[in-house]
Amino acid sequence: MVKPDGVQRGLVGEIIGRFERKGFTLRGLKLFTPKKQLAEEHYKDLSQKPFFKDLVDYITSGPVVAMVWEGNGVVKSARKLIGATNPLEAEPGTIRGDLAVQTGRNVVHGSDSPENGERETALWFGSDAVEQWQPALAPWLRE
Ligand code: DAT
Ligand code: MG
């Protein structure tokens, strides 16, 4: 997900491009401003953290771009492409390492396990089916 700061800063294309160029397949995409209830459910594991309210206020402050990406090892790889939670600790070449300076404005969210990827897809996309399609270049990405 491109967070509200990423959308406001015009980084949507840059971020989508990194996942596309890596070789992952876009299966779902939508832009909208999340409701508080959705943000709280999404981040429920962090509900006892002191920054929880600020986090929910930030995520609900404007439109986000929610996406579903599919591919070989996509969850682990996406976390690497995204970089460390604190952008000042994130390696150059990662999204956060290249494009952000503070944890509270770290431009992008990525699921941390395949199970959470499924959970978050259901939460953010609901019953909207994510698209099943075969990219024509699939044989050039995976033998
Ligand atoms: P990640 O987004 O890298 O998966 P996380 O799941 O630990 O990180 O936390 C979710 C978000 O919460 C994170 O992107 C930004 C915010 N956050 C985490 N730790 C924080 C902290 N110490 N202070 C402020 N915000 C924090
Ligand atoms: Mg997380």
Residues bordering ligand 2, an ion, CB closer than 5 Å: 112
The pLDDT score that the predictor gives to residue 35 is 98
Instruction: Give the residue among 99, 92, 97 at the shortest CA–CA distance from 8.
Output: 99
Helix (H) or strand (E) holding 80: helix 74-82
The pLDDT score that the predictor gives to residue 127 is 80
Q: Tell me the C-alpha distance between 84 and 96, whole Å.
A: 7
Helix (H) or strand (E) holding 59: helix 52-59
pLDDT in tens, 10-24: 999 999 999 999 999
Does the beta carbon of 3 sit less than 6 angstroms from any atom of ligand 1? Answer: no
The mean pLDDT value for 126-137 works out to: 89
Does the beta carbon of 93 sit less than 6 angstroms from any atom of ligand 1? Answer: no
The pLDDT score that the predictor gives to residue 21 is 98
The mean pLDDT value for 106-129 works out to: 95
128 pLDDT tier (thresholds 50, 70, 90): confident
139 pLDDT tier (thresholds 50, 70, 90): very high
Choice from 54, 58, 103, 112 to test ligand 1 binding pocket (greatest atom count within 8 A of CB): 103
Q: Which residues contact 21 (CB under 8 A, 6 or more apart)?
A: none
pLDDT in tens, 26-49: 999 999 999 999 999 999 999 999
pLDDT exceeds 90 at position 7: yes
The pLDDT score that the predictor gives to residue 31 is 98
pLDDT in tens, 51-89: 999 999 999 999 999 999 999 999 999 999 999 999 999
Residue 122's φ and ψ, nearest 5 degrees, are: -65, -40
- Closest residue by CA, ligand 1 atom 12: 55
Does the beta carbon of 73 sit less than 6 angstroms from any atom of ligand 1? Answer: no
Active site residues: 109
CA of residue 138 to ligand 2 center, whole Å: 29
